[in-house]
Amino acid sequence: MPTPEQIIHYFYRLFRSAGVEVETAKFLNAFICIIILLIVVYILDRIVKQLFVNLITKISTRTRNQFDNFLVKNNAAGLTAHLFILLFIVYALPFVLWDFPQTYIYIEKAVDIFGAFVVVLLVQSVLRTFSDYLKTMPTFRDKPIHSYVQVFMIFAWLAAIVYIFTILTNKSPWTFFSALGALSAVILLIFRDTILGFVASIQVTVNDMVRIGDWITMEKYGADGDVIEISLATVKVQNFDNTITTIPTYYLISDSFRNWRGMQKAGGRRIKRSILLKVSSIHYLSEEDIKELKNIDLIKGYLETMDSEVNNYNKEHNSNKTLLLNGKNMTNLGVFRIYIEEYLKQNPHINNDMLMMSRQLEATPQGVPLEIYAFSKSKEWLEYEKVVSDIFDHLFAAVPYFNLHLFEAPSNVLAITREKR
Protein backbone atom coordinates (compact mmCIF):
# COMPACT_ATOMS: atom_id res chain seq x y z
CA MET A 1 0.00 0.00 0.00
CA PRO A 2 1.52 3.38 -0.99
CA THR A 3 2.47 5.80 1.76
CA PRO A 4 1.07 9.40 1.88
CA GLU A 5 4.46 10.67 0.67
CA GLN A 6 4.33 8.40 -2.37
CA ILE A 7 0.81 9.53 -3.18
CA ILE A 8 1.72 13.21 -2.89
CA HIS A 9 4.80 12.79 -5.09
CA TYR A 10 2.98 10.88 -7.84
CA PHE A 11 3.04 13.82 -10.27
CA TYR A 12 6.61 14.64 -9.20
CA ARG A 13 7.74 11.21 -10.35
CA LEU A 14 5.88 11.63 -13.64
CA PHE A 15 7.53 14.99 -14.30
CA ARG A 16 10.97 13.64 -13.36
CA SER A 17 10.52 10.66 -15.67
CA ALA A 18 9.69 13.16 -18.43
CA GLY A 19 13.01 14.92 -17.82
CA VAL A 20 11.75 17.95 -15.89
CA GLU A 21 14.21 19.53 -13.44
CA VAL A 22 13.87 18.73 -9.72
CA GLU A 23 12.73 22.16 -8.51
CA THR A 24 10.35 22.61 -11.41
CA ALA A 25 8.92 19.13 -10.86
CA LYS A 26 8.40 19.90 -7.16
CA PHE A 27 6.64 23.18 -7.99
CA LEU A 28 4.37 21.62 -10.61
CA ASN A 29 3.59 18.72 -8.29
CA ALA A 30 2.60 21.11 -5.47
CA PHE A 31 0.56 23.26 -7.89
CA ILE A 32 -1.45 20.28 -9.17
CA CYS A 33 -1.97 19.00 -5.63
CA ILE A 34 -3.31 22.41 -4.56
CA ILE A 35 -5.73 22.45 -7.53
CA ILE A 36 -6.93 18.96 -6.62
CA LEU A 37 -7.27 20.01 -2.95
CA LEU A 38 -9.39 23.04 -3.92
CA ILE A 39 -11.68 20.87 -6.05
CA VAL A 40 -12.03 18.31 -3.25
CA VAL A 41 -12.65 21.10 -0.71
CA TYR A 42 -15.36 22.63 -2.90
CA ILE A 43 -17.14 19.30 -3.34
CA LEU A 44 -16.82 18.39 0.34
CA ASP A 45 -18.08 21.83 1.38
CA ARG A 46 -21.23 21.42 -0.73
CA ILE A 47 -21.81 17.87 0.53
CA VAL A 48 -21.24 18.66 4.22
CA LYS A 49 -23.34 21.83 4.02
CA GLN A 50 -26.21 19.92 2.43
CA LEU A 51 -25.92 17.20 5.07
CA PHE A 52 -26.17 19.75 7.87
CA VAL A 53 -29.11 21.54 6.23
CA ASN A 54 -30.95 18.24 5.68
CA LEU A 55 -30.24 17.18 9.26
CA ILE A 56 -31.60 20.45 10.73
CA THR A 57 -34.58 20.35 8.37
CA LYS A 58 -35.47 16.82 9.50
CA ILE A 59 -35.16 17.87 13.13
CA SER A 60 -37.34 20.94 12.51
CA THR A 61 -40.13 18.79 11.08
CA ARG A 62 -40.22 16.81 14.32
CA THR A 63 -40.18 19.81 16.66
CA ARG A 64 -42.78 22.54 17.19
CA ASN A 65 -40.45 25.44 18.00
CA GLN A 66 -38.91 27.53 15.25
CA PHE A 67 -35.36 27.66 16.62
CA ASP A 68 -33.98 25.18 14.10
CA ASN A 69 -35.76 26.99 11.27
CA PHE A 70 -33.97 30.19 12.25
CA LEU A 71 -30.66 28.26 12.29
CA VAL A 72 -31.15 27.42 8.63
CA LYS A 73 -32.32 30.96 7.84
CA ASN A 74 -29.18 32.50 9.41
CA ASN A 75 -26.84 30.08 7.56
CA ALA A 76 -25.54 28.42 10.71
CA ALA A 77 -25.39 25.07 8.89
CA GLY A 78 -23.25 26.46 6.07
CA LEU A 79 -20.81 28.14 8.44
CA THR A 80 -20.48 24.96 10.51
CA ALA A 81 -19.70 23.07 7.31
CA HIS A 82 -16.94 25.61 6.58
CA LEU A 83 -15.35 24.82 9.95
CA PHE A 84 -15.18 21.12 9.17
CA ILE A 85 -13.69 21.87 5.77
CA LEU A 86 -11.09 24.14 7.38
CA LEU A 87 -10.09 21.29 9.68
CA PHE A 88 -9.71 19.09 6.61
CA ILE A 89 -7.53 21.74 4.92
CA VAL A 90 -5.33 22.06 8.01
CA TYR A 91 -4.86 18.29 8.02
CA ALA A 92 -4.21 18.04 4.25
CA LEU A 93 -1.89 21.06 3.77
CA PRO A 94 1.27 19.48 5.25
CA PHE A 95 1.04 16.72 2.65
CA VAL A 96 0.24 19.03 -0.26
CA LEU A 97 3.14 21.37 0.59
CA TRP A 98 5.50 18.59 1.63
CA ASP A 99 8.38 20.10 -0.30
CA PHE A 100 7.66 23.73 0.65
CA PRO A 101 7.59 23.91 4.46
CA GLN A 102 8.13 27.69 4.51
CA THR A 103 5.18 28.29 2.21
CA TYR A 104 3.09 25.97 4.38
CA ILE A 105 3.69 28.25 7.38
CA TYR A 106 2.24 31.28 5.56
CA ILE A 107 -0.73 29.39 4.13
CA GLU A 108 -1.43 27.89 7.55
CA LYS A 109 -1.60 31.41 8.98
CA ALA A 110 -4.00 32.44 6.20
CA VAL A 111 -6.21 29.45 6.97
CA ASP A 112 -6.16 30.31 10.70
CA ILE A 113 -7.17 33.90 9.93
CA PHE A 114 -9.97 32.71 7.67
CA GLY A 115 -11.03 30.29 10.40
CA ALA A 116 -11.23 33.18 12.90
CA PHE A 117 -13.60 35.03 10.56
CA VAL A 118 -15.74 31.91 10.10
CA VAL A 119 -15.97 31.39 13.88
CA VAL A 120 -17.07 35.01 14.42
CA LEU A 121 -19.66 34.74 11.64
CA LEU A 122 -20.90 31.47 13.15
CA VAL A 123 -21.24 33.15 16.56
CA GLN A 124 -23.13 36.00 14.90
CA SER A 125 -25.40 33.53 13.13
CA VAL A 126 -26.21 31.70 16.38
CA LEU A 127 -26.85 34.98 18.20
CA ARG A 128 -29.17 36.16 15.43
CA THR A 129 -30.96 32.83 15.65
CA PHE A 130 -31.52 33.35 19.38
CA SER A 131 -32.63 36.93 18.67
CA ASP A 132 -35.16 35.86 16.03
CA TYR A 133 -36.41 33.04 18.23
CA LEU A 134 -36.84 35.24 21.31
CA LYS A 135 -38.77 37.81 19.26
CA THR A 136 -41.43 35.15 18.67
CA MET A 137 -42.03 34.97 22.43
CA PRO A 138 -44.38 37.59 23.96
CA THR A 139 -42.03 38.20 26.90
CA PHE A 140 -39.14 39.34 24.70
CA ARG A 141 -41.03 40.76 21.72
CA ASP A 142 -40.65 44.38 22.83
CA LYS A 143 -37.08 44.05 24.16
CA PRO A 144 -34.09 45.49 22.23
CA ILE A 145 -32.43 42.09 21.79
CA HIS A 146 -30.73 43.25 18.60
CA SER A 147 -28.70 45.80 20.54
CA TYR A 148 -27.49 43.07 22.93
CA VAL A 149 -26.39 41.01 19.94
CA GLN A 150 -24.47 43.97 18.55
CA VAL A 151 -22.73 44.58 21.89
CA PHE A 152 -21.67 40.94 22.13
CA MET A 153 -20.47 41.00 18.51
CA ILE A 154 -18.23 43.97 19.24
CA PHE A 155 -16.37 41.89 21.81
CA ALA A 156 -16.36 38.89 19.47
CA TRP A 157 -14.78 40.91 16.66
CA LEU A 158 -12.31 42.44 19.12
CA ALA A 159 -11.24 38.96 20.22
CA ALA A 160 -10.89 37.90 16.57
CA ILE A 161 -8.75 40.96 15.77
CA VAL A 162 -6.49 40.26 18.75
CA TYR A 163 -6.16 36.62 17.63
CA ILE A 164 -5.31 37.67 14.05
CA PHE A 165 -2.78 40.18 15.41
CA THR A 166 -1.01 37.44 17.38
CA ILE A 167 -0.93 35.20 14.30
CA LEU A 168 0.55 37.85 12.02
CA THR A 169 3.09 39.26 14.47
CA ASN A 170 3.87 36.23 16.65
CA LYS A 171 3.49 38.51 19.67
CA SER A 172 1.36 38.25 22.80
CA PRO A 173 -2.10 39.87 22.95
CA TRP A 174 -0.81 42.32 25.57
CA THR A 175 1.31 43.95 22.88
CA PHE A 176 -1.87 44.65 20.94
CA PHE A 177 -3.57 46.18 23.95
CA SER A 178 -0.50 48.30 24.64
CA ALA A 179 -0.72 49.65 21.10
CA LEU A 180 -4.42 50.37 21.65
CA GLY A 181 -3.54 52.35 24.77
CA ALA A 182 -1.12 54.51 22.79
CA LEU A 183 -3.78 55.11 20.11
CA SER A 184 -6.66 55.58 22.55
CA ALA A 185 -7.31 59.20 21.53
CA VAL A 186 -7.55 58.25 17.84
CA ILE A 187 -9.74 55.24 18.63
CA LEU A 188 -12.09 57.36 20.73
CA LEU A 189 -12.39 59.83 17.86
CA ILE A 190 -13.06 57.15 15.25
CA PHE A 191 -15.46 55.10 17.35
CA ARG A 192 -17.09 58.03 19.15
CA ASP A 193 -20.60 57.34 17.81
CA THR A 194 -20.28 53.61 18.50
CA ILE A 195 -19.18 54.21 22.10
CA LEU A 196 -21.94 56.75 22.69
CA GLY A 197 -24.45 54.38 21.14
CA PHE A 198 -23.20 51.54 23.33
CA VAL A 199 -23.61 53.61 26.50
CA ALA A 200 -26.99 54.95 25.38
CA SER A 201 -28.23 51.48 24.46
CA ILE A 202 -27.43 50.22 27.96
CA GLN A 203 -29.16 53.21 29.59
CA VAL A 204 -32.22 52.92 27.36
CA THR A 205 -32.52 49.22 28.19
CA VAL A 206 -31.78 49.43 31.93
CA ASN A 207 -34.12 52.40 32.46
CA ASP A 208 -36.77 50.88 30.17
CA MET A 209 -37.10 54.17 28.30
CA VAL A 210 -38.09 52.71 24.93
CA ARG A 211 -39.33 49.32 23.80
CA ILE A 212 -40.01 47.91 20.37
CA GLY A 213 -43.63 48.75 19.55
CA ASP A 214 -43.72 51.94 21.64
CA TRP A 215 -45.27 55.00 20.07
CA ILE A 216 -42.80 57.85 20.46
CA THR A 217 -42.78 61.45 19.28
CA MET A 218 -39.54 63.35 18.69
CA GLU A 219 -40.41 66.52 16.82
CA LYS A 220 -36.79 67.60 16.45
CA TYR A 221 -36.12 64.66 14.13
CA GLY A 222 -39.58 64.39 12.58
CA ALA A 223 -40.35 61.11 14.36
CA ASP A 224 -43.97 60.32 15.24
CA GLY A 225 -44.79 56.63 15.13
CA ASP A 226 -43.94 53.15 16.36
CA VAL A 227 -40.44 51.94 17.21
CA ILE A 228 -39.66 48.98 14.95
CA GLU A 229 -35.99 48.42 15.74
CA ILE A 230 -33.53 49.34 18.48
CA SER A 231 -29.89 48.74 17.61
CA LEU A 232 -26.58 49.78 19.09
CA ALA A 233 -26.28 52.93 17.00
CA THR A 234 -29.81 53.79 15.83
CA VAL A 235 -33.48 53.55 16.64
CA LYS A 236 -35.87 53.14 13.69
CA VAL A 237 -39.32 54.69 13.93
CA GLN A 238 -42.07 53.95 11.43
CA ASN A 239 -44.12 57.12 11.20
CA PHE A 240 -47.87 57.05 10.67
CA ASP A 241 -47.37 58.03 7.03
CA ASN A 242 -45.27 54.83 6.69
CA THR A 243 -41.99 56.73 6.32
CA ILE A 244 -39.02 55.55 8.38
CA THR A 245 -37.12 57.94 10.67
CA THR A 246 -33.71 56.86 11.98
CA ILE A 247 -32.61 58.45 15.25
CA PRO A 248 -29.16 57.93 16.81
CA THR A 249 -29.65 55.97 20.03
CA TYR A 250 -27.56 58.50 21.94
CA TYR A 251 -30.09 61.26 21.25
CA LEU A 252 -32.75 59.37 23.20
CA ILE A 253 -30.86 60.19 26.39
CA SER A 254 -29.43 63.58 25.39
CA ASP A 255 -32.65 65.06 23.93
CA SER A 256 -36.25 64.96 25.07
CA PHE A 257 -38.90 62.81 23.45
CA ARG A 258 -42.43 61.70 24.24
CA ASN A 259 -43.25 58.04 24.83
CA TRP A 260 -46.97 57.26 24.64
CA ARG A 261 -46.64 53.88 26.35
CA GLY A 262 -48.12 55.23 29.59
CA MET A 263 -51.20 56.41 27.74
CA GLN A 264 -51.60 53.04 26.03
CA LYS A 265 -51.36 51.24 29.37
CA ALA A 266 -53.74 53.63 31.10
CA GLY A 267 -57.51 53.44 30.99
CA GLY A 268 -57.86 56.10 28.33
CA ARG A 269 -56.29 58.68 26.06
CA ARG A 270 -56.37 62.30 27.17
CA ILE A 271 -58.58 64.90 25.54
CA LYS A 272 -57.31 68.39 26.27
CA ARG A 273 -58.77 70.97 23.93
CA SER A 274 -60.49 74.31 24.36
CA ILE A 275 -63.02 76.50 22.59
CA LEU A 276 -62.79 80.31 22.54
CA LEU A 277 -65.84 82.30 23.66
CA LYS A 278 -66.41 86.02 23.28
CA VAL A 279 -66.23 87.83 26.62
CA SER A 280 -69.07 90.18 25.55
CA SER A 281 -71.46 87.23 25.25
CA ILE A 282 -71.06 86.24 28.94
CA HIS A 283 -73.92 87.51 31.14
CA TYR A 284 -76.09 86.76 34.18
CA LEU A 285 -79.12 84.57 33.65
CA SER A 286 -82.54 86.11 34.13
CA GLU A 287 -85.61 84.16 35.27
CA GLU A 288 -86.70 83.86 31.67
CA ASP A 289 -83.26 82.54 30.65
CA ILE A 290 -83.32 79.95 33.43
CA LYS A 291 -86.81 78.85 32.53
CA GLU A 292 -85.79 78.36 28.93
CA LEU A 293 -82.60 76.47 29.84
CA LYS A 294 -84.58 74.06 32.04
CA ASN A 295 -85.83 72.51 28.81
CA ILE A 296 -82.35 71.02 28.38
CA ASP A 297 -82.56 67.57 29.96
CA LEU A 298 -78.90 67.27 31.01
CA ILE A 299 -78.97 70.36 33.23
CA LYS A 300 -82.61 70.50 34.28
CA GLY A 301 -81.94 68.99 37.71
CA TYR A 302 -78.90 71.21 38.26
CA LEU A 303 -80.83 74.37 37.34
CA GLU A 304 -83.74 73.53 39.65
CA THR A 305 -81.39 72.93 42.56
CA MET A 306 -79.28 76.00 41.91
CA ASP A 307 -82.34 78.20 41.24
CA SER A 308 -83.71 77.25 44.65
CA GLU A 309 -80.36 77.93 46.35
CA VAL A 310 -79.96 81.29 44.60
CA ASN A 311 -83.50 82.42 45.50
CA ASN A 312 -83.08 81.37 49.15
CA TYR A 313 -79.73 83.17 49.36
CA ASN A 314 -81.12 86.36 47.90
CA LYS A 315 -84.12 86.30 50.26
CA GLU A 316 -81.92 85.74 53.30
CA HIS A 317 -79.67 88.63 52.32
CA ASN A 318 -82.54 90.82 51.15
CA SER A 319 -80.85 91.36 47.78
CA ASN A 320 -82.28 94.04 45.51
CA LYS A 321 -83.07 92.02 42.39
CA THR A 322 -84.34 94.97 40.42
CA LEU A 323 -80.71 95.04 39.35
CA LEU A 324 -79.51 91.62 38.20
CA LEU A 325 -75.99 92.33 39.48
CA ASN A 326 -77.07 92.25 43.12
CA GLY A 327 -77.03 89.11 45.19
CA LYS A 328 -76.18 85.66 43.95
CA ASN A 329 -76.67 84.80 40.28
CA MET A 330 -75.93 82.17 37.69
CA THR A 331 -74.11 82.96 34.45
CA ASN A 332 -74.61 81.41 31.05
CA LEU A 333 -70.92 80.44 30.96
CA GLY A 334 -71.11 78.67 34.33
CA VAL A 335 -74.21 76.74 33.28
CA PHE A 336 -72.54 75.84 29.98
CA ARG A 337 -69.59 74.39 31.90
CA ILE A 338 -71.97 72.21 33.91
CA TYR A 339 -73.67 71.15 30.68
CA ILE A 340 -70.33 70.08 29.20
CA GLU A 341 -69.49 68.00 32.27
CA GLU A 342 -72.89 66.32 32.25
CA TYR A 343 -72.58 65.68 28.53
CA LEU A 344 -69.16 64.06 29.03
CA LYS A 345 -70.48 61.91 31.91
CA GLN A 346 -73.23 60.42 29.76
CA ASN A 347 -70.95 59.99 26.74
CA PRO A 348 -70.26 56.22 26.41
CA HIS A 349 -66.85 56.90 24.83
CA ILE A 350 -65.51 58.80 27.87
CA ASN A 351 -63.86 57.01 30.80
CA ASN A 352 -65.71 58.29 33.89
CA ASP A 353 -63.21 56.62 36.23
CA MET A 354 -60.49 59.08 35.17
CA LEU A 355 -60.22 62.82 35.68
CA MET A 356 -62.88 64.77 33.82
CA MET A 357 -63.70 68.46 33.97
CA SER A 358 -64.54 71.59 32.06
CA ARG A 359 -62.47 74.55 33.19
CA GLN A 360 -62.11 78.21 32.32
CA LEU A 361 -58.59 79.34 31.41
CA GLU A 362 -57.10 82.80 31.59
CA ALA A 363 -58.75 85.25 29.23
CA THR A 364 -56.85 86.14 26.05
CA PRO A 365 -57.29 88.86 23.40
CA GLN A 366 -59.16 86.23 21.39
CA GLY A 367 -61.66 85.53 24.17
CA VAL A 368 -62.13 83.18 27.12
CA PRO A 369 -60.78 79.64 26.54
CA LEU A 370 -63.12 76.99 27.90
CA GLU A 371 -61.07 73.79 28.12
CA ILE A 372 -62.38 70.24 28.10
CA TYR A 373 -60.17 67.82 30.03
CA ALA A 374 -61.19 64.16 29.88
CA PHE A 375 -60.05 60.72 28.74
CA SER A 376 -61.51 58.69 25.92
CA LYS A 377 -61.86 54.94 26.42
CA SER A 378 -60.42 54.25 23.00
CA LYS A 379 -56.67 54.81 22.62
CA GLU A 380 -56.52 53.88 18.96
CA TRP A 381 -55.74 56.99 16.92
CA LEU A 382 -58.55 56.80 14.36
CA GLU A 383 -61.27 56.07 16.92
CA TYR A 384 -59.86 58.69 19.31
CA GLU A 385 -60.04 61.45 16.70
CA LYS A 386 -63.60 60.45 15.87
CA VAL A 387 -64.61 60.69 19.55
CA VAL A 388 -62.99 64.13 19.93
CA SER A 389 -64.57 65.42 16.71
CA ASP A 390 -68.03 64.23 17.75
CA ILE A 391 -67.71 65.94 21.15
CA PHE A 392 -66.68 69.29 19.72
CA ASP A 393 -69.18 69.10 16.86
CA HIS A 394 -71.86 68.89 19.52
CA LEU A 395 -70.39 71.64 21.72
CA PHE A 396 -69.98 74.10 18.84
CA ALA A 397 -73.62 73.52 17.93
CA ALA A 398 -74.71 73.83 21.59
CA VAL A 399 -73.03 77.19 22.25
CA PRO A 400 -75.88 79.37 20.82
CA TYR A 401 -78.43 77.72 23.15
CA PHE A 402 -76.64 79.41 26.07
CA ASN A 403 -76.53 82.79 24.31
CA LEU A 404 -72.75 82.51 24.02
CA HIS A 405 -70.71 83.34 20.94
CA LEU A 406 -67.62 81.63 19.57
CA PHE A 407 -64.64 83.80 18.75
CA GLU A 408 -63.83 84.17 15.06
CA ALA A 409 -61.28 86.51 13.57
CA PRO A 410 -62.98 89.30 11.60
CA SER A 411 -62.88 88.83 7.84
CA ASN A 412 -60.80 91.99 7.32
CA VAL A 413 -58.18 90.67 9.78
CA LEU A 414 -58.00 87.41 7.84
CA ALA A 415 -57.60 89.31 4.60
CA ILE A 416 -54.74 91.41 6.05
CA THR A 417 -53.06 88.23 7.35
CA ARG A 418 -53.24 86.61 3.91
CA GLU A 419 -51.76 89.71 2.27
CA LYS A 420 -48.82 89.67 4.70
CA ARG A 421 -48.15 86.04 3.84
List the domain boundaries for the chain. 4-141, 269-414
Confidence at residue 274, expressed as pLDDT on a 0 to 100 scale? 92
In the prediction, which pLDDT does 419 show?
45
Q: What is the pLDDT of residue 2?
A: 59
Residues 204 and 144: beta-carbon distance below 8 Å? yes
Q: How far is CA 28 from CA 14, 17, 96, 103, in A?
A: 11, 14, 11, 14
* Residues 30 and 96 sit within 8 Å (Cβ to Cβ): yes
What is the spatial distance between Cα 38 and Cα 109, in angstroms, rounded to a whole number?
17
**pLDDT score recorded for residue 415:** 44
| Calpha distance 221→240 (Å, rounded) | 14
Whether pTM > 0.85 for this model: the answer is no
Give the pLDDT of residue 212: 81
Per-run averaged pLDDT (10 residues), the chain, 421 residues: 62 71 76 81 81 74 70 76 80 70 74 84 84 76 70 80 80 68 63 71 75 84 86 83 86 82 75 92 91 92 91 88 84 94 93 90 91 89 90 94 86 44 43
CB 30 within 8 A of CB 92: no
Q: What was the pLDDT predicted at 368? A: 93
| pLDDT value for 115 | 84
pLDDT of residue 338: 94
373, with CB counted inside 10 A (0-12, 13-18, 19+), is middle
Q: Can you give the C-alpha Rg of the chain in angstroms?
A: 39
Residue 417: the pLDDT is 41
